[in-house]
Chains A and B, each alone.
Chain A
Amino acid sequence: MPFENLPDLVPVLPEIFLALVIMSLLMFGVFQRGGRAETDVNTFRVISWMAVVTLIVTPLLVLSLAGSTLIGFGGLFISDPFSVFCKILVLIGSAGSLVMARNFLEEHDMARFEYPVLVVFATLGMLMMISANDLISLYMGLEMQSLSLYVIAAFRRDDTRSTEAGLKYFVLGAVASGMFLYGASLIYGFAGTTNFTILEQVLQRDTQDEYGQSLGIIFGIVFILSALAFKVSAVPFHMWTPDVYEGAPTPVTALFAIAPKIAALALFMRVMVGPFGDLISEWRQIIIFISVGSMLLGALAAINQRNIKRMMAYSSISHVGFALMGLAVGHDSGIRAILVYLTIYLFMNIGTFACILAMRRGGVMVEAIDELAGLGKTHPLMAAAMTVFMFSMAGIPPLAGFFGKLYIFLSVIQAELYLLAVIGVLTSVVGSFYYLRVIRLMYFEDPDEPLDRPVSREISLIATLAGLVTVLFFLYPDFLVLSAATASSALFLN
């Protein structure tokens, strides 16, 4: 049999599909006769739409793997309900940000076909991260994602802020990768394996050992934890976030705020409750610390921001803080709460960034929050959508954001972490202040110069869809909760 050494490819099917399609798209782009502006734009458009279609088809492939746990490549790769759930979120996020990007890139002279290609490559990396079952494959996925993202952060290469964002992201990202590798090698040195399944058994045995866990393992976990905290931009590793969010072109920011964050949090969950699950008493206090820090800093620092992208950066930091509270619970219900939270976060953020992308005057993007003044009069529908997203992010019922917080706090109370819960709700009150400020500008102030109309069709479509999901979520929340419950229980099978 010529194929007997062939690894089992079924669990990797979506990734293989994505890789093949994107490489053919890359080839297609490379061999186009370029040089003239309009042909370049045409190539960009074709590839952009093809990439979107690919990102929409891939979830179907992912779904075909739902319900079972498959391990491939000798234990390096795992596909389980948890990965299926997170992959679908990531794919929706990437597809959404790519759809919104088209118009912006064309108007800002950045319509080059490399953009969609890089976005899909990054997405592929994220899928790998989510499915990693070994520190090595995890690192591969992480780097594939990060390298593509470094490039698109600097995609507007003649703009200093954008190149600065790319460079900053790269340098700090490299430091984080270094920390990760150091932690991983410590783990390997002290546990003798990089595979999550074996690692879990080894650590479980060591925990019951009379000597307890060796210090090297703890050190390794702390290093890995710091690297992951960097990737999800949690305090104290958040410093790059506002600058990168502000400097990167807005559609790139929209992508950063959504897909990589979900992927990194998924990774965070898998690593912490999987191989290191038995050591929860060691890492719980660290998670609580970074969670409280993120919530506090996100809420307080956003108050004084004048740039809406910076504000969204701090907002995402505080959202990560809320999500990490669920991880501190470390229990089935905490993970379920995070998954629900991330799904709602995805829709709120896609919608908000759609509105931000519509902020342009004379064809040029404007970014100051004050530019939203009087939007309620000039663009009533867009203002209404933005209001919904802002109230939802502040966690006011009956909007979706409230339910996200509901499950998180419920699990935190269940774990009897009362102080954490009280700090959490109080920071959410502080945080609501700056969301309200956006609403105040839109409705309570008079417009000076109206923003451009009409808003492009893709953007209105995405804002409308996300708005409807956010408003009507309360009608049938159980679908999401049940899927999240299935996904989260997959992490606790053994």
Chain B
Amino acid sequence: MSNFPILSLVTFMPLAGALFVLMIRDSDPEIVASNARYVALWSSGLNFLVSLYLWFNFDNSTADFQYVEKAEWMPVLGLTYHMGVDGISVLFVLLTTLLTPICILASWDSITDRVQEYMISFLVLETLMVGMFCALDLMVFYIFFEGVLIPMFLIIGIWGGPRRVYSSFKLFLYTLTGSVLMLLAMFAMFIESGTTDITQLLVYNFSEKLQTWLWLAFFASFAVKVPMWPLHTWLPDAHVEAPTAGSVILAGVLLKFGGYGMLRFSLPMFPLASADFTPLIYTLSIIAVIYTSLVALVQEDMKKLIAYSSVAHMGFVTIGVFTTTVQGIEGAIYVMLSHGVVSAALFLLVGVVYDRIHSRKIADYGGLVHRLPAYAMIFMLFMLASVGLPGTGSFVGEFLVLLGVFQVNAWVSALAGLGVILGASYMLYLYRRVVFGKLTNDSLRKITDMSPREWAVFTPLIILTLWMGIYPPSFLDVMHVSVDNLINQVELAQSAAHTLAQSMDVNH
């Protein structure tokens, strides 16, 4: 099995499913829609099962890339189709393959218009996302990274809310602006080093001046994706207008592109520039954590509130990544994973009531606990998970990040800790207004509790978030060796530059 192209299978199986959906033809649109749903669910569900193989057979003891595939693609330039995963990326692949079938299941009844196109978009999106996490060639990475814009633009634009046009354009143009600058930086790296192979670039030493420029160009792209304050404004718009499943994928996977990119490129490839820019990252992240938490407090719209809370959580990620400590980076990855599960669940929870009442206004709700006890319970679990209650995945991640940053800079740690408190206040406030209190809105009197399909959507997420909180080693062990290796590389490069600078001082 060692030569079996398992990563290509996981990457392109959804695409095959999409082609299948494309072929469905029938005179009755209902049959087409239901066939499209089933094909999409089966192909993405099967893909999840296949991707589990990646996890079970993953070798925790090495930092090397595993399941590597390499094939000629553009020999003129020396570009290769190169795929592989290490401890940092493998879990993101799993997160993607898990969330896609959940998204498809969540859109089962809520999407009735152009179902075929919808399912195709989601399956294509899955291919692009998985490919992005597996790519080990700069160009292959970029193609997947930016290709994601096409289905995402269509998902928000076609199936979104009233201001969908504005939001989809904003998402597209913001992201594209950042990415094209990164593309130029990639060209510069290619011309400088003569290769686009990520494994080789990871150990290539760029000059310090070049590193600064490259770092800034990559930052332009990743800061939009993360998103970091002040480039985050596309996110609340996109979340509010996107259909539920679109928000889930956006929060669950797309936001991780930025953090992942920083771990894969910015930190190991430009270690000197990263050290120089760490104060900038800290400042922006702290502002993000505190400012967006305050903004979240005053939101009237549930989705917007959760969107702002995502920006705040991502602030933890960027802080953690640039601490260059084991705890900080592992915490950052852990926050990304648990946020992928928790924020996905929160958007799904909003979707559940939105499907019934067609409103996202917090004021339209209240007293849901009387009619929807099961819903209230699940909501409470994820609300507390978002706050970072011990026993849930977020706690482990945020704790590790704070621990990591405390070793480097206690002030940053203290200010980020303030964000946790604010996080608790806006989430609890949201929960009180939506779930507790009296049933005031008449349309809520006939609202029904969770359907079996909805239970099927939430069960894996509930299990996962508790698992991540109670027994983190199942996940931390996977990434540990890779993270250690990453930090060693960065410290080696930084100390080498340091000694060089010192020896030059001596010479003067």
B180 near A425: Cβ-Cβ < 8 Å: yes
Checking B169, B184, B190 against A433 with a beta-carbon cut-off of 8 angstroms, the contacting residue is: B169
A436 near B143: Cβ-Cβ < 8 Å: no
**Contacting chain B: which of A125-133, A270-278, A346-354, A391-399?**
A391-399
Known: A436-B153, A436-B172, A477-B74. A425 touches B191 (CB 8 A): no
Known: A396-B149, A432-B176. A409 touches B165 (CB 8 A): no
B183 at the interface (CB under 8 A from A): yes
Checking B147, B164, B177 against A396 with a beta-carbon cut-off of 8 angstroms, the contacting residue is: B147
B147 near A429: Cβ-Cβ < 8 Å: no
Contact with A along B178-209 (1 / 0, CB 8 A): 00110110011011000000000000000000
Known: A425-B184, A429-B177, A436-B172. A444 touches B165 (CB 8 A): yes
Contact with A along B438-472 (1 / 0, CB 8 A): 00000000000000000000000000000000000
Kindly list chain B residues whose C-beta atoms are within 8 Å of the C-beta of A402. 143, 146
B380 at the interface (CB under 8 A from A): no
Considering residues B75, B150, B154, B181, which has the most beta carbons from chain A within 10 angstroms of its beta carbon? B150
Considering residues B147, B169, B176, which has the most beta carbons from chain A within 10 angstroms of its beta carbon? B176
Q: Within A421-456, which residues are at the interface with B (CB < 8 Å)?
A: 421-422, 425-426, 428-429, 432-433, 436, 439-440, 443-444
A478 at the interface (CB under 8 A from B): yes
B188 near A443: Cβ-Cβ < 8 Å: no
Contact with A along B137-168 (1 / 0, CB 8 A): 00100110011011001100110000011001
Sorting the interface of chain A by its residue count into under 10, 10 to 19, 20 to 34 or 35 or more gives 20 to 34
B173 at the interface (CB under 8 A from A): yes
B76 at the interface (CB under 8 A from A): yes
Measured in the bound complex, the distance between the Cα atoms of B216 and A418 in whole Å is 14
Contact with B along A460-494 (1 / 0, CB 8 A): 00000000000000100110011001000000000
B180 near A443: Cβ-Cβ < 8 Å: no
Q: A476 to chain B: closest CB distance in Å? A: 9
B172 near A443: Cβ-Cβ < 8 Å: no
B177 near A426: Cβ-Cβ < 8 Å: yes
A50 at the interface (CB under 8 A from B): no
B143 near A432: Cβ-Cβ < 8 Å: no
A436 near B150: Cβ-Cβ < 8 Å: no
Measured in the bound complex, the distance between the Cα atoms of B191 and A404 in whole Å is 18
Measured in the bound complex, the distance between the Cα atoms of B180 and A472 in whole Å is 22
Measured in the bound complex, the distance between the Cα atoms of B142 and A418 in whole Å is 20
Q: Within A190-248, which residues are at the interface with B (CB < 8 Å)?
A: none
Kindly list chain B residues whose C-beta atoms are within 8 Å of the C-beta of A421. 184, 187
Known: A421-B184, A440-B165. A410 touches B190 (CB 8 A): yes
Q: Within A375-406, which residues are at the interface with B (CB < 8 Å)?
A: 376-377, 391, 396-398, 402, 406
Measured in the bound complex, the distance between the Cα atoms of B168 and A440 in whole Å is 9
Kindly list chain B residues whose C-beta atoms are within 8 Å of the C-beta of A477. 74
Q: A45 to chain B: closest CB distance in Å? A: 34
A409 near B187: Cβ-Cβ < 8 Å: yes
B191 near A413: Cβ-Cβ < 8 Å: yes
Q: A424 to chain B: closest CB distance in Å? A: 9
Measured in the bound complex, the distance between the Cα atoms of B179 and A426 in whole Å is 10
Checking B76, B149, B191 against A481 with a beta-carbon cut-off of 8 angstroms, the contacting residue is: B76
Measured in the bound complex, the distance between the Cα atoms of B74 and A439 in whole Å is 31
Kindly list chain A residues whose C-beta atoms are within 8 Å of the C-beta of B158. 376, 443-444
Checking A397, A413, A426, A433 against B188 with a beta-carbon cut-off of 8 angstroms, the contacting residue is: A413
B150 near A391: Cβ-Cβ < 8 Å: yes
A414 near B177: Cβ-Cβ < 8 Å: no
Q: A141 to chain B: closest CB distance in Å? A: 32
Sorting the interface of chain B by its residue count into under 10, 10 to 19, 20 to 34 or 35 or more gives 20 to 34
Considering residues B139, B180, B188, B190, which has the most beta carbons from chain A within 10 angstroms of its beta carbon? B180
Q: B128 to chain A: closest CB distance in Å? A: 9
B180 near A426: Cβ-Cβ < 8 Å: yes
**Chain A: CB-nearest residue to B154:** A443
Measured in the bound complex, the distance between the Cα atoms of B173 and A457 in whole Å is 36
**Chain B: CB-nearest residue to A402:** B143
Q: A427 to chain B: closest CB distance in Å? A: 10
Kindly list chain B residues whose C-beta atoms are within 8 Å of the C-beta of A406. 139, 183
Kindly list chain B residues whose C-beta atoms are within 8 Å of the C-beta of A440. 157, 165, 168-169
Q: B6 to chain A: closest CB distance in Å? A: 21
A432 near B147: Cβ-Cβ < 8 Å: no
Kindly list chain A residues whose C-beta atoms are within 8 Å of the C-beta of B188. 413
Measured in the bound complex, the distance between the Cα atoms of B172 and A177 in whole Å is 43
A429 near B176: Cβ-Cβ < 8 Å: yes
B150 near A478: Cβ-Cβ < 8 Å: no
Measured in the bound complex, the distance between the Cα atoms of B449 and A56 in whole Å is 67
B169 near A414: Cβ-Cβ < 8 Å: no
Checking A377, A398, A413, A481 against B74 with a beta-carbon cut-off of 8 angstroms, the contacting residue is: A481
B190 near A397: Cβ-Cβ < 8 Å: no
**Chain B: CB-nearest residue to A395:** B180
Contact with B along A166-188 (1 / 0, CB 8 A): 00000000000000000000000
**Chain A: CB-nearest residue to B143:** A397
B180 near A414: Cβ-Cβ < 8 Å: no
A413 near B149: Cβ-Cβ < 8 Å: no
Measured in the bound complex, the distance between the Cα atoms of B75 and A432 in whole Å is 30
B184 near A398: Cβ-Cβ < 8 Å: no
Kindly list chain A residues whose C-beta atoms are within 8 Å of the C-beta of B168. 440, 444
Measured in the bound complex, the distance between the Cα atoms of B75 and A418 in whole Å is 25
Measured in the bound complex, the distance between the Cα atoms of B77 and A429 in whole Å is 25
Q: A177 to chain B: closest CB distance in Å? A: 38
Measured in the bound complex, the distance between the Cα atoms of B170 and A436 in whole Å is 11
Checking B75, B117, B147, B191 against A398 with a beta-carbon cut-off of 8 angstroms, the contacting residue is: B147
B187 near A397: Cβ-Cβ < 8 Å: no
Known: A477-B74, A478-B76. A397 touches B154 (CB 8 A): no
**Chain A: CB-nearest residue to B146:** A397
B173 near A433: Cβ-Cβ < 8 Å: yes
Measured in the bound complex, the distance between the Cα atoms of B192 and A413 in whole Å is 10
Q: A412 to chain B: closest CB distance in Å? A: 8
Measured in the bound complex, the distance between the Cα atoms of B382 and A482 in whole Å is 55
User: 5 A-B contacts, Cβ less than 8 Å apart?
Assistant: A376-B114, A396-B150, A398-B143, A429-B176, A440-B165
Contacts A421-B187, A440-B169, A478-B76 aside, 4 further interface pairs with beta carbons under 8 A come to A376-B158, A410-B187, A425-B184, A426-B177
Using a CB–CB cutoff of 8 Å, the interface residues on chain A facing chain B are: 376-377, 391, 396-398, 402, 406, 409-410, 413-414, 418, 421-422, 425-426, 428-429, 432-433, 436, 439-440, 443-444, 474, 477-478, 481-482, 485
The 10 closest A-B CB pairs, nearest first, are A425-B180, A397-B143, A413-B187, A444-B157, A481-B76, A398-B143, A429-B177, A410-B187, A429-B176, A397-B147
